[in-house]
Structure 1
């Protein structure tokens, strides 16, 4: 009973962090399952896969209804990741627990540094945008406001339209016809490498791999951030399912009761933490996430090595 209550409480806490900071549940679940709930390392990675799978399945329909899932690109990316997921899952069961946790801690350090750099870059961009907005506001206040009563110009016409790529284009003057640009070819080697690495990390460490999937979908396939986030859930569902299937026949045991209770608590915490993300700047959330990962990495390495 005490273990169940602890699993619920810790699951809610992790869910709040995930909902507020946008953090991946798997990357936080593994150390929590090992050091707070006393699971063996290999069992914790398998349980984390179940938690990530449930979270992704619950979250995917919402993004799909809003058209934020690129099904074709996502299925291709996920299909390639299955190979890495199978290899990572099989290899994970052969690695000693201490080595597995040490490598997990090293991965946490790498992700923390990556998120720290991203947060600092976002903070600089936010400050530059705020300065530019302030400058425009000051100069517009000094300029006389001109009005017109032209019924044609007053209509919401096509002066400025937003194209599919999100760029605002001005059509006040006729444009000369230009030759069509050649279709942008995706960086196939980068996509294959990213998908394989994502699958391997998912299978080996039991993490969702969203911290790699989202940037790679943006860089390699040119998806907008919102579409990349929705599509990454599809990739997670397939990669985690493949990783769990690859663990069949191994000696890894799953504590289903603790795992499902933890997953339920995490889902509730995610609902509570979601509204918190609207009260802080994205750069602040990213920096907090990097600090959190750094702390978890320090605890993981200290507990494992010392």
Structure 2
């Protein structure tokens, strides 16, 4: 009974992170399943895939209602990532469990550093934008619904004098958050980077049981010209496709899943995912990113410490 309650409670916390940031579910679920819920590392990565899939399915409707999901871009990106997801899933089961946790902890450390730098840079940009909009010290900070960083067009977006937004030659005449941009030959040198990023995302998803949003979100911003808010919503679509492919790729392996713990964790995570999107309206984007970086750093320290010393 205590294990069931713990699985639900921790699942809600993980879901909140996924719903708010569009990333982070699997990267937190794996160490929780191993060290708190006593699962084998291989089983934990498989369980994490199912948890991320269910959480993303429950989180994406909020972003879709806000029209923050670029369906075409997301499906193309996810389609490319499927090959990496299948390869990563089949390779993961062949790796020694201890080595798998060491590699996972190392990845957590790298991601924590990247998120910390992104959070600091985002806070500086928010402060500059706030000053430009006439906000002064002591006034209410910009929130999710009025955020110059999240709502800013991607770096490859051009806004004409009539308000028309153009992404890589594709024009959006009416949508306030900008149009999607298909991955095609008109991208020139960007196409290889998108393919590489999608393949790496799929591989990490399959190998570690993570959603890969920490890679998908910046790539959707930089390579496809999406605003951060739209990229976060689209990353959930990518998670759904890649985690489903990774789970299917594990059929026929020796990995077993504790369905009771996994489904209870997933149920709690789904509830947290539905709450995460609306709750993120109360916090600045940089604040969420910095908190997430600190959380990842702590989880990385625990993962590596327990694995190397335990």
| Corresponding position: 1:50 with 2:50 | yes
8 Å contact from structure 2 (residues 18, 55) kept in 1: no
2 CA distance for matches of 1:17 and 1:72?
25
Task: Tell whether 2:256 aligns with 1:253.
Answer: yes
1:70 paired residue number: 70
Output the CA distance in 2 between the equivalents of 1:93 and 1:212.
23
Residue from 288, 291, 294 that aligns with 2:291 = 288
| Equivalent in the alignment of 2:4 | 4
1:162 aligns with 2:185: no
Report SS of the residue matched to 1:162.
Answer: coil
State the TM-score, normalizing by the size of structure 1.
0.81
Q: Are positions 1:235 and 2:238 aligned together?
A: yes
State the match for 2:224 in structure 1. 221
Rounded to whole Å, the distance in 1 between the matches of 2:249 and 2:135 is 57
Equivalent of 1:270, from 253, 273, 277?
273
What residue number does 1:187 align with? 190
Q: Deviations over 1:14-40 (max 9, x none)?
A: 334444565421111000010000000
- Alignment check: 8 A CA contact 2:43 2:256 kept: yes
TM-superposed deviation, 1:277: 2.4
TM-score (norm 2): 0.80
Deviations 1:220-239 (A, max 9, x none): 12222233222222211111
SS in 1 for 2:133: helix
Query: In structure 1, what is the equivalent of residue 15 of structure 2?
Result: 15
Q: CA RMSD in A?
A: 2.3
Q: Of the two, which has the highest radius of gyration?
A: 1
* Cα offset, 1:70, TM superposition: 2.5
Q: How many residues align?
A: 268
Q: Which residue of 1 aligns with 2:205?
A: 202
Q: What's the counterpart of residue 173 of structure 1?
A: none
Is the alpha carbon distance of 1:43 and 1:201 closer, same or farther for their aligned partners in structure 2, counting shifts above 3 Å? same
Alpha-carbon separation, structure 1, partners of 2:64 and 2:16: 23
Deviations, residues 166-224 of structure 1 (Å, cap 9, x unaligned): 9xxxxxxxxxxxxxxxx654611101100100000000000000110111111112222
Distance 2:114 2:197 in 1: 16
Corresponding residue number in structure 2 for 1:126: 126
* 8 Å Cα contact 1:21/1:288 also seen in 2: no
Alpha-carbon offset, residue 279 of structure 1: 2.6
Question: Using a 3 Å threshold, how does the CA distance of structure 1 residues 288 and 34 change in structure 2: closer, same or farther?
Answer: same
- How many angstroms apart in 1 are the aligned matches of 2:307 and 2:97? 9
Tell me if the contact between 1:186 and 1:221 (Cα under 8 Å) persists in the aligned partners: no
